[in-house]
Structure 1
């Protein structure tokens, strides 16, 4: 086989008699490589990339509200190996507000007023390797709302969930600190007057609680604030009142032939709820009239009412009884 050289006026044989290396094996290697790698190269593929959006150089005195584009979807095309390289990259799309919203990108003193902006996506800001092409980007515009930055001190409100143990209740709740400085967009302070914590669980508590609580950052629309507080929940026994009626009035230190009018009374007691678990149990107290050293006759006497420690007598009806000793 004689190699041929292509000229403008035709094809002519090339004289290789003076070459020192074997031409036929060399040509065979080249042809084999072209067949295996060039002729069998994989077709390009397409894939979607979710690229986070970051903002640089927010103008002084301004801040982002919660209304802004957080990701863009980029569809790219390239050989499978190139696509794998791209997927391994930590891609971000950087929005430079001074470059995108002013005529002089290096003038950080340029005035940018509070407003809602739609900034076109610039494809060349995506650092893709050679051989990877961008087909399209969604959305085509980055939306961001800029508002005046303000700092205010607001009270912290502790939110709770669950119920204390039976017979107990929440006496009071407080946080440390009681107020916190909150920095955020001015529009945020038109909506909130306090900073709430995430719910603190007090289920089954029968003693005071002290916990570390987290602020509900999601409700603060991205405002800048320390996210942790100390929560203190005071738990006390629940105090209730209970009325007992139809209580027989007993006699002490008197004969069996004694008549008490009326023979029953009604009392109201106040104390811890757990004391009155069995509301119909009158064994918690005793009611009687002491007739010691009284001769036969008719007397007006009050009843003696003994109640357990920690229980207070609120009222008793009637206050006095007619006692007839025969």
Structure 2
């Protein structure tokens, strides 16, 4: 067949042939459309920063992106968010400032084998700010909650290790002075509390070292001071023949110790005294004042450090006068003598009543 004959056959009834071809294409196109489905996924936008530049701003508005997948309905049913990954690569820019970074997609291999397949990201690029990377170590500041038991207090809190590595944009890292930790509760504690905790990072622009930190909360008895007024001062070791003249002496005392011990302390347990063992004769003396308290407590201060004493001899006891005693004895003797004489009766005297006497008989002569 010559070329002329071939062209004649093609051009024969060409309007009909063109119409059939167009209709076939349309039928194929509509068939493909009828078998392809669409599904939209929302995935987090990751930031890849392996170079000298790191993200410094703009990410808050573009945390997530939409990924639209077109494929056959039976194939699309097996696709999920974990098969799709969206990210931006900051290494494409080397200068600080704001730049538009294209959104790149990373798909599972089985997704790439689908046919037909159409994938788009919305938005397809995002404006982000970048800065130079900075690294430094900052201190750990443990967080504590709760109140220790009555009579105890939080004395000190430490962390081991005491520092952590912080990395991020220079303008942000330069302002960080410490990193907080998870809370350690000391509620109703009466002894030290130790707990393993992690660092709390509330800034998405920085990254911190991983691992746990051992936090120790030191719990100690709570201190307290209390004032006792008008504590009497006693004069110890004073000679029996000496005495201190004047009114009784009192002292005000401030006692220091643990709260639970101070709360149980009464004024009767606080004693003020002066040592008079060196005083041998009457006179005026300046003596130091001593205060004693129960074991475990200390005297913070007292209102008197010294005391002025006037020491005198004790007056002798008055004895009865000896002459007066003798006169009294003589008078008592006089008063008792007549009574003794009256009580004495002679042995040869007998009292016989006159009427009872027997008359003597008379003899007459014949």
* TM-score category of the 2 structures, normalised to the smaller one: 0.5 to 0.7
Q: Could you list the per-position Cα deviations for residues 260-300 of structure 1 after superposition, in whole angstroms to 9, with x for gaps in the alignment?
A: 63443210111112212257x32442335677898997876
* Partner SS for 2:295: coil
Distance 1:292 1:67 in 2: 87
TM-score (norm: length of structure 1):
0.65
Aligned match for 1:153, one of 124, 127, 137: 137
Mean alpha-carbon deviation: is it higher for 243-252 or for 261-270?
A: 243-252
Structure 1 residues 170 and 67: alpha-carbon distance in aligned structure 2, compared to 1, 3 A threshold: farther
Deviations 1:179-235 (A, max 9, x none): 333222212223212233233222222223332232122247332423422223322
**Corresponding residue to 1:215 among 177, 190, 199:** 199
Where does structure 1 lack aligned partners over 5 or more consecutive residues? Answer: 1-7, 9-41, 102-110
CA distance in 2, matches of 1:321, 1:215: 65
Q: Give me the whole-angstrom Cα distance separating, in 2, the residues matched to 1:288 and 1:54.
A: 80
| RCO comparison, higher one (Cα < 8 Å, 6+) | 1
Shift of 1:313: 0.9
The one of 165, 169, 174 aligned to 1:181 = 165
- Among residues 97, 102, 122, which one is paired with 1:115 in the alignment? 97
Task: Name the residue aligned to 1:27.
Answer: none
Which residue, 261, 270, 292 being the options, matches 1:275? 261
Partner of 1:19: none
Residue 72 of structure 1 corresponds to 65
Aligned residues: 275
Where structure 2 has 5 or more consecutive residues not aligned to the other structure, the ranges are 1-12, 14-33, 315-366
Aligned to 1:61: 52
Q: How far apart, CA to CA, are the structure 2 residues paired with 1:324 and 1:221?
A: 84
TM-score by length of 2: 0.59
Contact 1:261 1:322 in 2 (8 A): no
- Structure showing greater radius of gyration is 2
Q: 1:4 maps to which residue?
A: none
Q: Shift in Å at residue 244 of structure 1?
A: 1.3
Contact 1:182–1:225 (8 Å) recurs in 2: yes
Pair 1:52-2:44 in alignment? yes
